[in-house]
Chains A and B, each alone.
Chain A
Amino acid sequence: MMFTLETHVLLSLIIPLLGAIGIALTSSVPNIRETVTLVTSVLLCLNVFSLLPGIMNGAEPAVLLAEIVPDIGLALKVEPLGMTFAAVASSLWIINSIYSIGYMRGNNEPRQTGFYICFAIAIAATMGVAFSGNLLTLFVFYEVLTLSTYPLVTHKKNADALKGGRIYLGILIGTSIGLFLPAIIWTWTLAGTVNFVKGGILEGHASAGVTGVLLFLFMYGIGKAALMPIHRWLPAAMVAPTPVSALLHAVAVVKAGVFAVLKVVIYIFGIDFLTTTGAAEWLTWVAAYTLIAASVVALTKDNLKARLAYSTISQLAYVVLGASMATSMAVAGGALQIVMHAFGKITLFFCAGAIYTAVHKTEISDMRGLGRQMPVTFIAFLIGSLSIIGLPPLGGSWSKFYLMLGAAEADEIYLMIVLLVSSLLNIAYLLPIVARGFFYPPLGQSDEPVPVGYEKSDFSWRNIQEAPLFCVLPPVLTALACVVLFFLADPIVRLIEPILTP
């Protein structure tokens, strides 16, 4: 190892920021500019993964950046959960960068330099969120993430983008300043600290009633977790170019939200404290409601990205549900869900973008028969869908499995039913897209009636017209990763285990 762990932590923030500067300097030479993005993302990923062995051995590298308020610094500290999140975000950034290049060039998008700069800053903010050592630091990077993604969401600069941007910023800034910040300051006045401490800091400082109110402020203050009814920003953010929706609004931004939820539950309230006060019970039901309701809404959406957005809202609620049940199994399920859903959902978004780049279609009803033309994309979509539904041998099955175990551990039979129903709904809104793609004839055509026993394959090499390679390769890679992750669940659980056992 070349540097100390502390240096690597700092580098996780510095590398993407330097990358942003490099992108700005090379703006006139697109090929070099994109190379800078790719090199930066690879360096960042290597850097984050070089932290992994240390963290697995129980190290907790900490860095103090500055003292904003006396006694509360801008502090970074790596713990297993943040390590997991950073690893997911940084490795997906590489794949997403490849995809961005294919997508942005394939669609001749304007203002690409600004796009890549904001992207790099958003990733730096994500690293900051993942490695934050206290609530204030988390809040700081959370806000930086919101602001740096605003130009990305409004990239198209038309009336739709303006409207989407307003909703995006209005809800995210509104909840964070209106609820999250007061909750942080209140926590500070109660406990005298806002550091993330194992077992929580509020026990003994807050009555059951205050705990309930604080939990409410935190859960609705962290608007990025998209609990209903403050979920509207996520569908609004879909006006962004697809690479943004893929990495930021399926992985970095929303995961920063649920990650913050987990951090607050584990390190501020403490799992045991929440269980004994029972303050989180309402949250379980809100999460369960969001889970089902968002799935039902997803069923009604014909726009592919809108459907995926509602699916994300529903899947995020799994994490909140895991946190709210406050049992170690459920929290492990929530943490696993952050990883597994990231890979599954980014695959789906990659596919949506590939379809848009190839044939400029956004509505599901227009995508009939498209699987014959774009088989690779649709197979990747199928694998991603199955992972999100939670079928083995795909990564998503583990998070659902642990959540079920958690529900059983908490003796919540209704929640098990909720989880089952939700899985069925997932099937109902994801699989028809694939089925129509492969089994229906393309729009405006009809297959000739064939007698039983004489069916031919509709597949022919001539029909294949995939999107550019840079758009197709990424979903294939992430779909493969979904399979690989099925076998990697054990190391991940072992990584996060220390934080679950007091």
Chain B
Amino acid sequence: MTALSSQFPIIVAIVPLLAAPICALFRGTTLPWAITTIISGITFYVSIQLMIAVIQGGPISYELGGWAPPWGIEYVVDLLSGFMLILISAISTGVLLFSRESITREVPDHQLGLFFAAYLLALTGMLGICITGDAFNVFVFLEIMSLSSYALIAMGANEDRRALTAAFQYLIIGTVGASFYLIGVGLIYMMTGTLNIADIAARFPEIEGARPILAAAGFIVIGLAIKLALFPFHVWLPNSYTYAPSIITAFFAGTATKVGVYLLIRFIFTVFGVNYSFGGLELTDILLPLAVLGFLSMSVVAIYQTNIKRLLAYSSVAQLGYIILGIALASESGLMATIVHIFNHAIVKSGLFLSVGCMFYVAGSVYLKDLHGIGRRMPVTTFGFVLGGLGLIGVPLTPGFISKWYLVVASIEHGGVIGYGLVALLMVSSLLAVIYIWRVVEVAYFRDIPEGAEKKEAPLSMLVPTWLFIAASFYFGIETTFNVGIAKATAAFLMGGS
């Protein structure tokens, strides 16, 4: 490794962090946007380099400031965190490419510097959570991400003032979640005397019977469940996604909740270990019913939405149910399904929210009643939405199919009444997805175009990134070497590490 590339782990987190205040200094639209996009692109490049290094030489450990762990903070890149880094930075970069036209329409010019500063901070937080190997440092990054995201969501107030209450609601609930997490980490620190995740994991078997550890595990799991919007802790999510600016919704839908899932996987499989999580804690009994209730009830709720962003938000909560189900099944194939679906859903959902962003740009509304005949007004955008919707349903050749395949395989392997019951419920849930996507399709293609509505497409600078996501989703639905291959290796690594 050259001198620079040996510093890559810190570069991923520090570059967006340092760029954020610079961004805040600038006025105007182009410059902050360009800086943010370039910075995001850099993190994407560095993430790929890190992943290549991990695949070639195994996990990378980086000592922050030269202090060896457990005294100093350690940054760790392994398969799972490398995978998450690539996913987050890729989605962020794609969304930013889209953002210029969209955000200047939705957020006032004088706020744009601050907007992009907050965006960079949110990016820092997400990347930091994934790369750090220190449980307290996770909390720090979690707060960086959360605080900046409250601000970002509130910036939707220019279009709809309900964004303010949505942000406030998220602030309250998110803070509770973060505090729970902090309490849990505190208890663990009390019992083990270390905050380094690898250290905690190594000492965990000696103390796992202790009551404070049980409490810690409870606080951490619930805290993270709130952060990742697991049913029934999801109430903040639909509001935030609905009223946030379009690009923020697209960015968060692909990344924010996924970071929570990443942490949950990290704690359940690396820190607690499979034996304790599913033997001592019996997490399957807790997570499995919540996951199933989540994907069924939220899919039903999505059917009745009149606002497309809200519809997709509820669908996100449902999809998180699938993701958690994979964890709850506590098997290698289940975990693999989870990791694959984190990736697949992120791409599909971001693409969908971007196409809704295009519709909002032209039609000025995301309510179904205002989008009659949108399929004929904006054929390119709407067709992209339909293709993305097929991905949510899980039609073959889309990535959603791959995820569903592995989830069903994991359920059948689980066996018994529960396993086969799950297969049936998964299928029911996909059919519910058909219904909520087709409601939009029917409105888009079968209703008459309202009088005076102009027929025009969103600008190319928005269409191209949107279609980039849609095309990528089909690419990863057909050529699955990257997503499935890495998910498989990661799942084997995490289960084997127990």
Cα–Cα, bound, A181→B409 (Å): 11
Chain B residues with Cβ under 8 A from A140's Cβ?
A: 396-397
Chain B residues with Cβ under 8 A from A143's Cβ?
A: 395-396
Chain B residues with Cβ under 8 A from A68's Cβ?
A: 396-397, 401-402, 477-478, 480
Report B380 CB to chain A, min CB distance, Å.
13
- Structural contact, A69 and B397, CB atoms closer than 8 A: no
Cα–Cα, bound, A89→B488 (Å): 40
Cα–Cα, bound, A143→B400 (Å): 14
Report A157 CB to chain B, min CB distance, Å.
6
Interface of B is mostly: helix
With contacts A166-B438, A177-B427, A188-B409 known, what are 18 further pairs, Cβ within 8 A? A66-B479, A67-B479, A69-B402, A70-B485, A140-B396, A143-B395, A144-B396, A157-B446, A162-B442, A166-B442, A169-B434, A177-B393, A182-B408, A182-B423, A185-B405, A185-B412, A185-B423, A189-B412
Cα–Cα, bound, A318→B485 (Å): 45
- Structural contact, B405 and A139, CB atoms closer than 8 A: no
- Structural contact, B478 and A74, CB atoms closer than 8 A: yes
Cα–Cα, bound, A74→B390 (Å): 19
- Structural contact, A67 and B481, CB atoms closer than 8 A: yes
Given A157-B446, A189-B412, A69 and B431 touching (CB < 8 A)? Answer: no
Q: Which residues of A contact B (CB under 8 A)?
A: 66-70, 74, 136, 139-140, 143-144, 147, 154, 157, 161-162, 166, 169-170, 173-174, 177-179, 181-182, 185-186, 188-189
Chain A residues with Cβ under 8 A from B282's Cβ?
A: none
Query: B260: CB under 8 A from chain A?
Result: no
Cα–Cα, bound, A4→B188 (Å): 66
Query: Which listed residue (B395, B428, B477) contacts A147, Cβ 8 A?
Result: B395
Interface of A is mostly: helix
* Mask of B471-488 contacts with A, CB within 8 angstroms, 1/0: 000000111110011001
Chain A residues with Cβ under 8 A from B446's Cβ?
A: 154, 157, 161-162
Query: B430: CB under 8 A from chain A?
Result: yes
Q: Name 6 A/B residue pairs within 8 A (Cβ), A-sorted.
A: A68-B396, A69-B402, A69-B405, A177-B434, A181-B404, A185-B405
Chain B residues with Cβ under 8 A from A188's Cβ?
A: 409
Chain A residues with Cβ under 8 A from B434's Cβ?
A: 169-170, 173-174, 177
Cα–Cα, bound, A178→B404 (Å): 12
Query: B413: CB under 8 A from chain A?
Result: yes
Cα–Cα, bound, A179→B446 (Å): 29
* Mask of B407-432 contacts with A, CB within 8 angstroms, 1/0: 01100110000000001100110110
- Structural contact, B431 and A174, CB atoms closer than 8 A: yes
- Structural contact, A189 and B413, CB atoms closer than 8 A: yes
Q: Which of B433-465 contact A (CB under 8 A)?
A: 434, 438, 442, 445-446
- Structural contact, B480 and A69, CB atoms closer than 8 A: yes
Query: B394: CB under 8 A from chain A?
Result: yes
Chain B residues with Cβ under 8 A from A178's Cβ?
A: 427-428, 430-431
Residue in chain B with minimal CB distance to A158: B446
- Structural contact, B390 and A147, CB atoms closer than 8 A: yes
Cα–Cα, bound, A141→B438 (Å): 20
Report A278 CB to chain B, min CB distance, Å.
24
Report A153 CB to chain B, min CB distance, Å.
12
Q: Which of B218-237 contact A (CB under 8 A)?
A: none
Chain A residues with Cβ under 8 A from B405's Cβ?
A: 69, 185
Report A418 CB to chain B, min CB distance, Å.
33
Residue in chain B with minimal CB distance to A189: B412
